[in-house]
Amino acid sequence: MECHRNCPNCGKTITHNNEKNCNWAQKQNRLCRSCSCVVRNSKPEYKEKHKHFLDRFCSKGSNIGEDNPFFGKKHKLETIEKFKSKDMSYLKTLEFSKTMSKVTSGTGNPMYGKSVYEVWVKKFGEEKANNLLAQLKQKHSLNNSGAGNPMYGKPTPQGSGNGWSGWYNKWFFRSIRELSYVVGVLEKQNLAWKPAEKIKINYINWQGVERTYRPDFIVENKFLVEIKPCKLFSSPTVLAKAKAAKAYCEERALEYQLLDPAILSDQEIYELKIRGIIKFTDRYEQLFKEKHDGI
């Protein structure tokens, strides 16, 4: 439904496609195209930079009938066929890609030197900008969760995370707690064990997103073991993993165990390191040397 208003400068009637646009323009005290161009043309730097745009902006609606440069002319048949076929192959050419890259790179990019948040603050105010930013972060979080995560279904890379990680007899441990379980329980009791990182268990997290996780150990071919601090046993994520792991174990005659072993003392870890039984990743090698005065 069309809506009309008058230009606040010259009084010319301006037509809008709907009432919403009309009210917004009225609130912003927007000028008509002609008056707007006069204002813009009064700024030399703007006129020089946006000459082509201003020419089109000012002349919109005036190139009708005999005033149209194409009046009385016809397109060639091959051009008409190209329009009909909607041939957009030129968009895929290397030349077009290079041109667009050059035009929209650096200072040619409309967002050069800006952030989306800054644009939102200027356009909507800080309160709404904060809400939009929170919604954007939530959207990105959901899009990159579960199957949308590039690491979905893949084992955790060695050296990632914040736990003291390294190698014990060629086995890679991702935390001191895992190392403590192997040294203080499995090795001490002479139990047969192997890493369970090749086992992938699907589960649904507390947000309802499908994810995967890999347990820590298989012991005596009877127990599927997950090592976690006891304070996390009742967390939503650990509970969701445990539920899926128990279902996995029931189908394979295994027993699931969630354990929090006693942690090795600093002296025990020091002796293992000095004897060359364990080796830390580069990051924690440096921390170990700092902790023990450069040893």
215-249 pLDDT, tens per residue?
999 999 999 999 999 999 999 999 999 999 999 99
- 45-64: average pLDDT: 57
Which tokens go with 48? 């020089």
Inter-CA distances, 60 with 36, 63, 72, 73, Å: 13, 7, 20, 20
Burial class (CB in 10 A: 0-12, 13-18, 19+), 67: exposed
Separation between Cα atoms, residue 179 and residue 272, nearest integer Å: 11
Residues 291, 199: Cα–Cα separation, whole Å: 36
Q: How confident is the model at residue 160 (pLDDT cuts 50, 70, 90)?
A: very low
pLDDT band at 45 (very low <50, low <70, confident <90, very high): low
- Which range has the top average pLDDT, 140-144, 152-156, 160-164? 140-144
The tens digit of pLDDT for each residue in 106-142 reads 888 878 888 888 888 888 888 888 888 888 888 877 7
Cβ 289 vs Cβ 283: under 8 Å:
no
- Sort 42 into a burial class: Cβ within 10 Å, 0-12 / 13-18 / 19+: exposed
- Tell me the CA distances in angstroms from 136 to 109, 133, 142, 248, one per residue in order: 22, 5, 10, 36
DSSP output for the chain:
--EEEE-TTT--EEEESSHHHHHHHHHHTPPPHHHHHHHHHTSHHHHHHTHHHHHHHHHTTT--GGGSTTTT----HHHHHHHHHT--GGGGSHHHHHHHHHHTSGGGSTTTT--HHHHHHHHH-HHHHHHHHHHHHHHHHHHTSGGGSTTTTSPPPTT-SSS--EEETTEEESSHHHHHHIIIIITTTT--EEE-TT--EEEE-TTS-EEEE--SEEETTTEEEEE--GGGTTSHHHHHHHHHHHHHHHTTT-EEEEE-PPPPPHHHHHHHHHTTSEEE-HHHHHHHHHHTTT-
Per the prediction, the chain carries an average pLDDT of 82
CB 217 within 8 A of CB 206: no
CA distance 142 to 98: 34
- Banded pLDDT at 1 (limits 50, 70, 90): confident
pLDDT for res 179: 95
Percent of the chain exceeding pLDDT 90 equals 34
CA distance 285 to 275: 14
Token pair, residue 278, equals 């364990």
Confidence of residue 72 (pLDDT cuts 50, 70, 90): confident
